[in-house]
Amino acid sequence: MTKRWDIAVAGEVYVDHIFTDFDHVPLPGEEVFADQYRREAGGGTVNTACALARLGHRTSLFGVFGRDEEAWLRSRLNSFGVHADDAHSSELPNALTVSMSTRSDRSFLSYAGANRVLEEYVALPETIAALSKSQHIHFAMPLELDLAKLLLPALRSAGCTLSIDPGWRKDWFLNPDSLNVLRMVDLFFPNEGEAQLLTGRKDPDDVLREFAAMGLEHTVVKLGPRGAVTWRQNRSYKMTPPDVQVVDTTGAGDAFDAGFIDAWLSGADIEDQLRRACICGSFSTRARGALTALPSREEMLNVVQENSIV
């Protein structure tokens, strides 16, 4: 069956209010002025969808927009080539995050808003039917076991492949049911801290062996500036990222996910999957904001051909 979309990305959608270039986070009762402010579409769902669209994929986003920001969000996503035809509109205010970045640290204050009805929307029969029109579905959200049992077998039956990056949800990672959810997908993208929380191990190779013993050999562990590791056929594979002038690491893990999914769907070997993912993650850090420096497909492939990663 011909699919309408190459990839669907489902999960939370935020409007980010980003304050930078100020000395310190204000203390109670204090007002501090920032030299720079930017409004941007945000969250792992948006970041991954835009990165996949930049790589040339027909990409659809599934999430919940608050009516107060819906028109702007749709326009912003459309500017990257991301379709949101099947995204849901809610009377609730849109989710938002206030990000305050100093030279040494970052702080966030978030409001869930319309994301509160995300699971309800994803479970709708019409949403499942719309998701099934994609070759691959990436969940940039945690899935509770009951929701996963409803969603994932139906999408499998429709011929979809599946991946998940739950983001940092400590309670979800500590819930034994989550392992059963992870066994139902083709790719799982934790960062190093999340992987250690799930396995109780510290060394990356020990983490990978533990995942393999759990039946999660399809795990790809992101190591930040040290690259990424995965386990296939009783051995580990590691890749380090190319050298770039790092400006802002926001969303780098989401761009990594996009690069890996792109290579995996193309049938590339495991080393090339890691290589492309590291390029996308690394290149996304070259400018402020998660979306500003996402590489195009041509740019990513040029780096692959130059064989500049060791």
Q: How confident is the model over 245-290, as pLDDT tens digits?
A: 998 888 999 999 999 999 999 999 999 999 999 999 999 999 988 9
Range 293-304 average pLDDT: 95
Domain parsing of the chain, residue ranges: 5-12+44-94+125-306
pLDDT in tens, 69-83: 999 999 999 999 999
State the pLDDT confidence band at 103, using cuts at 50, 70 and 90.
low
Sheet with 36-42, strands from edge to edge, namely 36-42, 14-20, 96-101, 106-111
What's the whole-number average pLDDT of the chain?
A: 94
Span 5-12+44-94+125-306: which CATH code? Answer: 3.40.1190.20
Cα separation, 304 vs 71, in Å, equals: 37
pTM: 0.94
Residue 309 pLDDT exceeds 60: no
Give the separation between CA 215 and CA 205, rounded to whole angstroms. 15
Residues 207, 201 contacting (CB under 8 angstroms) = yes
Please tell me the predicted confidence (pLDDT) of residue 100.
86
Q: Pairing mode, if any, of strands 220-222 and 187-188?
A: unpaired
